[in-house]
Chains A and B, each alone.
Chain A
Amino acid sequence: MGKIKGAVVVNTERCKGCELCIVACPSKVLALSKQVNAKGYNFAYMANEDACVGCSACGYVCPDACISVYKVKVE
């Protein structure tokens, strides 16, 4: 049976670190970076890359449209 693997890319300059994506992620993939962007926000990043299934929940809830989601079926 194929396994679904996903990945997200955060536009770190648009991200305001609201954490809604972190709450929305069912696989606990995301966390806030210790680094900050130009506006001083801690931005979201994939802290647990292996767990991502590309469900896009983070993308849907993101108020700043800064998340792109990628998904592949691994045979």
Chain B
Amino acid sequence: MSEEIKLMKGNEAIAHAAIRCGCDGYFGYPITPQSEIMETLMDEQPWKTTGMVVLQAESEVAAINMVYGGAGCGKKVMTSSSSPGVSLKQEGISYIAGAELPCLIVNVMRGGPGLGTIQPSQADYFQAVKGGGHGDYKVIVLAPASVQEMADFTALSFDLAFKYSNPAMILADGVIGQMMEKVVLPPFVDRLTKSEIEKQSPWATYGKPASRKPNVITSLELESKDMEQRNLKFQAKYREIEENEVRYEELACEDAEYLLVAFGSSARVCQKAVELAREQGIKLGLIRPITLWPFPTKLIQSYASSSKVKGFLAVEMNAGQMIEDVRLAVNGKVSVEYFGRLGGIVPTPDEVVEALKAKFL
């Protein structure tokens, strides 16, 4: 079959990709700028075709707990929201991480804090990559920079979530969610059958056959020594994810004297900034972390240790959050500076180049 190229919004691409990758259920609550995800699903009525359940919950809190219930049954389930709604989901995400359940959470970020603005932002970086809710846990975080990646990362997130029995998040922003681009949707994959689920997720609550003990989905351990063991197991898993699942893209880094580090929409802006800078004779490159956790720490370390690179500029649509992870990786070897815009403003390539010159040249 030849490739089917379509034009659609990033939010719509996630909805179509979810249906196509065999997602069993979506539970959500409307919030700008991501409501097209649920709207598209409701319009597509996948319950009539693939059998996928789509339900508008009474709140983000309820939606994430419906995800908990579905994920606990070994089903491929997801939710989506934007910043204030994702804050509400944090309780549930902590429980999901604590119970080691696989699921997908999409955050199409808007400006905060509080009710903030509906314009795009990247200010939930800390919340996404440092855990977000209570307790020591990590969520696998993927940052798409195109509509195509919105589609591709939907299936990838589920794969990673199930591989590690851990929640995965697509951390996009209002630009990626709302803009229209061409996209090749993934092929249709059948939803898992009952026996496939039992094989893939033997821990799930799909009903206790006589042959096994009851399965229990819980994050509770009253005995502190048991709770410590559970935490150590989580940490071992997180180290494994950090070892195996780092994803990034490099642009013009080979001869670069200065490196931009940016994800999502900011990385698109930085792509143009690299072009502009090179026209002016500045040897500029771009590192785009695709996984924000695990962060491409080793890659940045290696550039920081090379004799060529004189400095890093973290470009973010927030007050400087990812820069902390860049600084941890660089560990004082060279200078790390920040440039960003706040409150829903997307920086321009010219602003990035000017900031680079002001900080380093």
Direct A/B contact, Cβ within 8 angstroms: no
**B interface residue numbers (CB < 8 A to A):** none
